[in-house]
Amino acid sequence: MSDEPRTDGGVVEDEFPLDGGEQVQRKRLYGKIFVGLCLSATMVGIVALIALIADVVYEAWGWVTWEFLTYPPSRFVENFDPALYADPDTRPAGIYPALIGSIYLIAMTALFTVFLGVGAAIYLEEYASDNWLTTLINANIANLAGVPSIVYGLLGLAIFVRALNTGSSLLAGALTLTLLILPIVIVSSQEALRAVPDSLRNASYGVGATRWQTIRNVVLPNALPGIMTGMILSLSRAIGETAPLVLIGAATAMFAPPDGPLGAFAAMPMQIFDWAKQPAAEFQHVAAAGIVVLLTVLLLMNATAIYIRNKYDTPT
The more confident residue out of 308 and 106 is 106
**Mean pLDDT along residues 274-293:** 88
Cα dihedral: 11, 12, 18, 22 (round 10): -150
Give the per-residue pLDDT at 38. Answer: 93
Give the per-residue pLDDT at 315. Answer: 59
**Mean pLDDT along residues 168-178:** 90
Most confident stretch, 90-104, 143-157, 174-188: 174-188
The set of residues, in sequence order, having a beta carbon less than 8 Å from that of 244 and lying 6+ positions away, is 149, 150, 152, 153, 156, 173, 176, 177, 180
% the chain with pLDDT above 90: 20
- Residue type at position 83: A
Alpha helices (runs of H) in the chain, residue ranges in sequence order: 20-60, 66-70, 96-113, 119-122, 132-144, 149-156, 170-194, 198-206, 211-214, 220-239, 243-247, 268-276, 282-312
Q: What is the pLDDT of residues 229-278, one digit of tens each?
A: 888 888 888 888 888 888 888 777 788 888 888 888 888 888 898 888 88
Q: Is the pLDDT of residue 40 over 90?
A: yes
**Mean pLDDT along residues 38-55:** 91
Give the per-residue pLDDT at 39. Answer: 93
The set of residues, in sequence order, having a beta carbon less than 8 Å from that of 133 and lying 6+ positions away, is none
Q: Cα separation of 99 and 257, whole Å?
A: 8
Give the per-residue pLDDT at 9. Answer: 55
User: Rg of the chain over CA atoms, in angstroms?
Assistant: 27
> 122 near 224, Cβ under 8 Å?
no
Q: Cα separation of 57 and 285, whole Å?
A: 9
Q: Cα separation of 88 and 150, whole Å?
A: 44
Confidence label for 209 from pLDDT (cuts 50, 70 and 90)? confident
Q: What is the pLDDT of residues 116-130, one digit of tens each?
A: 999 999 999 989 888
Confidence label for 316 from pLDDT (cuts 50, 70 and 90)? low
Q: Is 229 exposed, middle or buried (0-12, 13-18, 19+ CB in 10 A)?
A: buried
The more confident residue out of 313 and 80 is 80
How many residues in total does the chain contain? 316
Give the per-residue pLDDT at 2. Answer: 47
* Whole-prediction pTM: 0.79
What is residue 12's three-state secondary structure? strand
CA atoms within 13 A on the CB side of 38: 6
Q: Cα separation of 56 and 54, whole Å?
A: 6
Q: Is the pLDDT of residue 3 over 70?
A: no
Q: Is the pLDDT of residue 11 over 60?
A: no
Average pLDDT of the residues of the chain: 85
Confidence label for 19 from pLDDT (cuts 50, 70 and 90)? low
Q: Is the pLDDT of residue 35 over 50?
A: yes
Q: Is the pLDDT of residue 147 over 90?
A: no
The more confident residue out of 140 and 77 is 140
Confidence label for 1 from pLDDT (cuts 50, 70 and 90)? very low
Residue 59, number of CB atoms within 10 A of its CB: 17
**Mean pLDDT along residues 2-25:** 62
Give the per-residue pLDDT at 7. Answer: 57
